[in-house]
Amino acid sequence: MTETDAVVIGAGPVGLFQVFQLGLLEIKAHVVDSLPYAGGQCMELYPDKPIYDIPGLPICTGQELAERLLRQVAPFEPVFHYRQVVTSLARQPDGRFLLETSTGTRLLTRTVFIAAGVGAFQPRTLKVEGIERFQGTQLFHDVGDPATFADKNLVIVGGDDAAVEWALNFCAAHADRHPHKARRVTLLHRRDVFRSSDESLTQLRQSFEQRAIDLVVGQITGFTEAEGKLVALKVTDPDNVTRDLALDMLLVLLGVSPKLGPVADWGLDLERKQLQVDTEKFSTNVPGIFAVGDINTYPGKKKLIVCGFHECVLAAFGAAPLIFPDKKILLQYTTTSPRLHALLGVAKTASD
């Protein structure tokens, strides 16, 4: 069990900025996110699309924003727990909160900041009865370790950017894209229309023409197993003809969907699946638990990243007296405060 001052649930832009504001107040934080990287919705849904309303940044992509925020929080050395969902939260006799994640990580914290956006992103799973028993051995809903698929007869299911990019990455004809290559790559989608960058779509069409990647159009309606292993998929095409598609590994990349998840069971006041907060500290009805960003609601709420940043500031100052009850919390400015300069690693020398 790890003890900490704060746990931030969600590593999107607002969650990252919450870590920064906590750091300025010398509050150490652990961060839990269901995705394998920071950036939240910005990274998962529109990493390459431009954002125009971030103060001081006339234009940046979702990926660029996440990278800048990660650099900003780096001096405070937050601990990230990726690919994990907080499954339970319980107040302890001493007033702290014990959180446990889906992988068994246990965090004992004085404060909790829920910055989960529209919920924890969960991979959309393949809806074929019985196939779930191959999960983790032959069936995967994210890439994880790419070496798992090396030299395998790999079927990738999906039509969006992730499916296209990984089909190209694993294809032996594109040696420069990725070190791990499958023996054979088949891209399976319900129709022969794909969404990705123009460059990747051009490479994909060329790969189809050169038979470097096989294209199969249809829906998975069943499967065949032998000696406890998945050996083939039953794929029904648009003409309602079903054929067997042999495979060693199945990688399902159907995107993600947000789910509120266990948050709904933590005794927090909800309004239409959003957490009710006050606008002084952005505290929930449970003292010590705060909510910032799209997960919260209050009169006049606007679902903008910049509004979430404002909420982070007030939430951090609301939490500080709980963590440092005997300390006077002062408002300091990063332009002039030697203490903040030291925390940020930009302390000026006498010669400056």
Mean pLDDT value across residues 316-327: 96
- 215 pLDDT band, cuts 50/70/90, is very high
Given a cut of 60, whether residue 349 has pLDDT beyond it is no
In the predicted structure, residue 9 carries a pLDDT above the cut 90: yes
Average pLDDT over residues 107-121: 86
Query: Across residues 63-85, what is the average pLDDT?
Result: 95
pLDDT of residue 120: 61
Closest by CA to 48, choosing from 253, 196, 193, is 196
Mean pLDDT of all residues in 286-292: 97
| Confidence (pLDDT) at 173 | 84
Comparing CA positions, the residue from 28, 33, 26, 27 lying closest to residue 10 is 33
pLDDT at position 260 is 66
**Average pLDDT, stretch 185-199?**
92
Instruction: State the Cα–Cα distance between residues 204 and 239, nearest whole angstrom.
Output: 24
Single-letter amino acid code for the residue at 302: K
Q: Give the C-alpha distances (Å, rounded to integers) separating 339 from 90, 243, 276, 342, 343.
A: 35, 68, 34, 5, 6
Does the pLDDT value for residue 350 go beyond 70?
Answer: no
* Alpha-carbon gap, residue 214 to 321, rounded angstroms: 60
Q: Given pLDDT bands bounded at 50, 70 and 90, which one contains residue 4?
A: very high
Beta strands 60-61; 50-51: pairing state: antiparallel
Mean pLDDT value across residues 35-55: 84
Paired tokens of 347: 């302390």
pLDDT band, very low/low/confident/very high, at 254 (cuts 50, 70, 90): confident
Mean pLDDT of 204-233: 95
Q: In which residue are the tokens 């420069």 written?
A: 176
Domains belonging to the chain, first-starting first, are 2-122+257-344 (3.50.50.60), 125-254 (3.50.50.60)
Least confident of 66-80, 113-127, 263-277, 320-334: 113-127
Q: Is the pLDDT of residue 219 over 90?
A: yes
pLDDT value for 118: 66
- Mean residue pLDDT across the chain: 91
pLDDT at 119: 64
| pLDDT on residue 79 | 97
Q: Does the pLDDT value for residue 351 go beyond 50?
A: no
Across 147-173, average pLDDT: 92
- The closest of 121, 184, 189, 120 to 161, measured between CA atoms, is 189
282 pLDDT above the threshold of 60: yes
Helices (H), 210-337: 305-323
What is the reported pLDDT for 95?
94
pLDDT of 117: 73
Residue 121 — pLDDT band, cuts 50, 70, 90? low
pLDDT tens-digit map of 138-150: 999 888 788 999 9
